[in-house]
């Protein structure tokens, strides 16, 4: 399930309980690529929340069953948000 989303005029970024953050084309709805994939995704790892700016992507990560430490991931980001 999608846990959070953020969008602008060109893109949608979604986080989900499968441990991924995905980038989508807003106009076509097509999947572009995974921005984050947790090793524990699918076995408990969850990306709970995301926040993107023009230069950074921040992800709040954890799990439902202890498979992933609770932490923030801060990544350089180059998609025009």
Query: In this predicted model, what pLDDT tens digit does every residue of 46-56 receive, in sequence order?
Result: 899 999 887 88
- Tell me the pLDDT tens digit for each residue of 70-79: 888 898 877 6
Q: Is the pLDDT of residue 43 over 90?
A: no
Can you list the positions of beta strands (E) in 17-80? 20-25, 31-37, 45-52, 56-63, 71-76
In a domain, 18, yes or no: yes
* 3-class DSSP assignment, residue 38: coil
Averaged pLDDT, 58-74:
84
The confidence band for 81, taking pLDDT boundaries of 50, 70 and 90, is: low
Domain holding 34: CATH number?
Answer: 2.40.10
Domain of residue 33, residue span: 2-76
pLDDT value, residue 42: 72
In a domain, 81, yes or no: no
Task: Tell me the whole-structure pTM to 2 decimals.
Answer: 0.83
Cβ-contact 47, 38 below 8 angstroms: yes
CA distance 65 to 50: 20
- How many domains does the chain divide into? 1
Q: Which two tokens stand for residue 67?
A: 């498979």
């Amino acid at each position: 399930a999608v846990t959070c989303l953020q969008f602008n005029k060109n893109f949608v970024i979604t986080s989900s309980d499968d441990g991924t953050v995905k980038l989508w084309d807003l106009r076509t709805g097509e999947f572009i690529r995974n921005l984050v994939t947790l090793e524990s995704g699918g076995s408990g790892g969850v990306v709970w929340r995301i926040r993107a700016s023009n230069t950074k992507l921040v992800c709040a990560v954890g799990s439902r069953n202890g498979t992933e430490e609770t932490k923030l991931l801060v990544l350089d980001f180059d998609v025009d948000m």
